């Protein structure tokens, strides 16, 4: 196994091996299965995947969920290169038909929380019944918003990472492990 990868002009070293990621997803799925056991075919939960980064996490997570759910997607962006711009833009809007529904937002990573605040605001405007936030990764030293993160698979320090859906200028999403910038 190669413990380093190069993307564009940067080098990254192995940070979180896939086996650890899979165990963390198992634990989150167990909590979701317990919390959504009352979901029915007539009133399924809606899982909203934030594109593009959360695709791998959402895919692995859904394989482990045993309650009725619908799958939807949205796309918001705030990163350019290795830094957040601080401005969240909507590239693919939240779907219609969310009124009165229970929603699970699946994120790849939460750091500043600006994207979470924007999604939460948009969901409230659509009249949802309940929204829960589920993230693969949390940079808890950076996150200072009031919106609770209901399901966190892994907490990490404020470092730039790629892999398992996360990218550096669109490269690196397809690695099964997570790599950290090798500074």
Domain ranges in the chain are 19-156
Q: Is 111 labeled as catalytic in the residue annotation?
A: yes
d(CA 137, CA 179): 13
Beta bridge partners of 69: 45
For the whole model, what pTM was predicted?
A: 0.92
CATH code for residues 19-156? 3.40.50.2020
Decide if 127 contacts 100 (C-beta within 8 A). yes
- Most confident range, picked from 59-63, 113-117, 167-171: 59-63
pLDDT, residue 92, reads 85
Answer positive or negative: Cα dihedral of 84, 88, 89, 95.
Answer: positive
Among the listed residues 111, 141, 150, 169, the single catalytic one is: 111
- Check pLDDT > 70 for residue 91: yes
């Amino acid at each position: 196994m190669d413990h380093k990868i190069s993307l564009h002009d940067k080098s990254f070293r192995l940070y979180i091996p896939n086996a650890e990621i899979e165990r963390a997803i198992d634990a989150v799925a167990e909590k979701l299965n317990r919390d959504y056991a009352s979901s029915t075919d007539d009133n399924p939960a809606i899982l909203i995947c934030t594109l593009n980064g959360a695709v791998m996490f959402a895919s692995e997570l859904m394989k482990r969920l045993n309650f009725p759910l619908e799958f939807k997607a949205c796309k918001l962006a705030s990163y350019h290169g290795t830094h957040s711009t601080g401005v969240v833009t909507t590239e693919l809007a939240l779907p219609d038909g969310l009124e009165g529904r229970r929603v699970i937002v699946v994120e790849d990573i939460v750091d500043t929380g600006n994207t979470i605040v924007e999604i939460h605001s948009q969901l409230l405007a659509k009249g949802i019944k309940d929204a829960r936030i589920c993230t693969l990764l949390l940079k808890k030293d950076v996150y200072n918003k009031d919106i609770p993160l209901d399901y966190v698979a892994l907490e990490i320090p404020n470092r730039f990472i790629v892999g398992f859906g996360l990218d550096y200028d669109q490269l690196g999403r397809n690695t099964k492990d997570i790599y950290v910038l090798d500074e």
